Amino acid sequence: MPHRLTGKHALVTGGATGIGYAIAQTLLQQGVRVSISGRNEANLQSAVETLRAYGEVQSVTMDVSQSASVLAGFTQARAGFGEIDILINNAGQASSAPFLKTSEEQWQTLISVNLSGSFFCAQQALPAMVERGWGRIVNVASTAGLKGYAYVAAYCAAKHGVIGLTRSLALEVASKGVTVNAVCPGYTETDIVKQAISNIMQKTGRTEEQARAELAAGNPQKRLIQPQEVADAVLWLCQPASQSQTGQAIAIAGGEVMS
């Protein structure tokens, strides 16, 4: 199904690294014009320099947790490539703490970035999608949105919220040519997981190999997910042929979560 998305405009939040970068590259290879957003302008510019080899790409400095920043970012993205056809809500943040040691600031930060960010961005992208009768919104959630994990209550709550938002909005726009889905990766080879491995090493004295194995143990395939695997699932959900898929939360986790 190559090139059926040629000329579409996708905005990928958190698109400079990890899963977001893999998604941006994959969409560019399908002829999509891609805006990548993030808070770190240096990281964005570095990503744009390498992504230009694959197609038309621009960067937008944007903090998804702030509605005013999202409005400004979408305005900038539209000025470059026109209205958004495909929205990938990938920007996210994770941190861990026992429930009783989770601060209000930590709670609010994780809810704001992971959940409110998806809400703000969808509100910006949706009107033009509905008007034109075609659009794709894919929220990058997590297996933490489908099950519980100890010591990450705020993150789990936020990602469960993303799944609820996905299902509700999908029903609201089901007859308008717009699909809304979520992909739910397990532990994936990204900077967030690298930080988790570092934390395990510091707190337990385990080696990097042991810490990595601990995170991979929850995956029945006994491995970490690769960003490209997530990107390939996202690409399928963006294709015209996936029009019957909406309101879904698709686990990419080697069988850790089954539905």
Structure letter (DSSP) for residue 87? E
Q: How many CB atoms lie within 10 A of CB 259?
A: 8
214, pLDDT greater than 90: no
Q: How many CB atoms lie within 10 A of CB 185?
A: 25
- Torsional sign, CA 248, 243, 236, 24: negative
Residue 1 has a pLDDT of: 45
Distance CA 64, CA 37 (A): 9
Catalytic residues: 155
Residue 209 has a pLDDT of: 86
State mean pLDDT over 124-136: 98
Largest CA-CA distance found in the chain, in angstroms, rounded: 56
pTM of the model: 0.93
132, pLDDT greater than 80: yes
Tell me, rounded to whole angstroms, the distance of Cα 194 from its chain centroid: 17
243, pLDDT greater than 90: yes
Residue 3 has a pLDDT of: 64
For 220-232, the pLDDT digits (tens) are 999 999 999 999 9
Residues in contact with 259: Cβ distance below 8 Å, sequence separation at least 6, in sequence order:
146, 249, 251
Residue 167 has a pLDDT of: 98
For 63-115, the pLDDT digits (tens) are 999 999 999 999 999 999 999 999 999 999 999 899 999 999 999 999 999 99
Q: Nearest Cα to 144, choosing from 183, 186, 113?
A: 186
Phi, psi of 101 (to 5 degrees): -105, 5
**In angstroms, what CA-CA distances link 42 with 26, 37, 61, 184?**
22, 12, 10, 28
Distance CA 2, CA 239 (A): 9
For 137-189, the pLDDT digits (tens) are 999 999 999 999 999 999 999 999 999 999 999 999 999 999 999 999 998 98
